Structure 1
Amino acid sequence: MCICLNCKYINICKQYFLIEKTHNEPNINETPKFLPLQSITNINFLVKKKTLEVELDVVECLSFKEKPGNWLGFFK
């Protein structure tokens, strides 16, 4: 699971913007300005019904500041 969901910077983060784009999800912010420090992203390749899917999950980030459930407020 992506740690971004519980990060204070989810709504302004360029790394999370890229993850949303890769997952074909609507972006929280079309012009994020925050560039996180040393984020580590796992890339998983999944084959579903003869289709290749790519899933990105940030698993470590030096800029991570915990704010549990922060993402919930952006999708009302």
Structure 2
Amino acid sequence: MCLCVNCAYVDRCETYYEVEERHSQPHLTQDPDFTPLHPVINVNIRNHGREMEWDVVGCQSFKLDMGHWARIRPGLAVPT
């Protein structure tokens, strides 16, 4: 699971914006204004390169805010 869903900056983050792009998901913001320090992204490649899963697994700027993503998008499934 992308650690961003529990980060205080998820709705402002340039890296999370790029992850949304890679997954063809609607953006939490159209104009991210937060540049995180040293994000670490795992990319899992499946089905002989036809599918890619992007997950932020580390970030020096991470600030815990449990459920931040869910509060922004109430009623929607939290990305895994």
Q: Deviations over 1:5-64 (max 9, x none)?
A: 0000000000000001101110000100100000100011111xx771111101110000
Alignment match, 2:65: 67
Alignment match, 1:20: 20
Q: Which ranges of structure 2 fall in alignment gaps of 5 or more residues? A: 75-80
| Structure 1 position 38 matched with structure 2 position 38 | yes
State the Cα distance separating 1:3 from its structure 2 match: 0.4
The amino acid that maps onto 2:5 is L
49, 56, 63: which one pairs with 1:58?
56
Separation in 1, partners of 2:64, 2:45: 28
Quick one: percent identity of the two aligned structures? 38
Large movers: runs of 4+ above 3 Å: none
| Structure 1 position 29 matched with structure 2 position 36 | no
Length, aligned pairs only: 74
**Aligned Cα root-mean-square deviation (Å):** 1.3
Q: Which ranges of structure 1 fall in alignment gaps of 5 or more residues? A: none
Separation in 2, partners of 1:68, 1:14: 20
User: What secondary structure is seen at the aligned counterpart in 1 of 2:61?
Assistant: coil
User: What secondary structure is seen at the aligned counterpart in 2 of 1:31?
Assistant: coil
Q: TM-score, normalised by structure 2?
A: 0.87
The amino acid that maps onto 2:59 is C
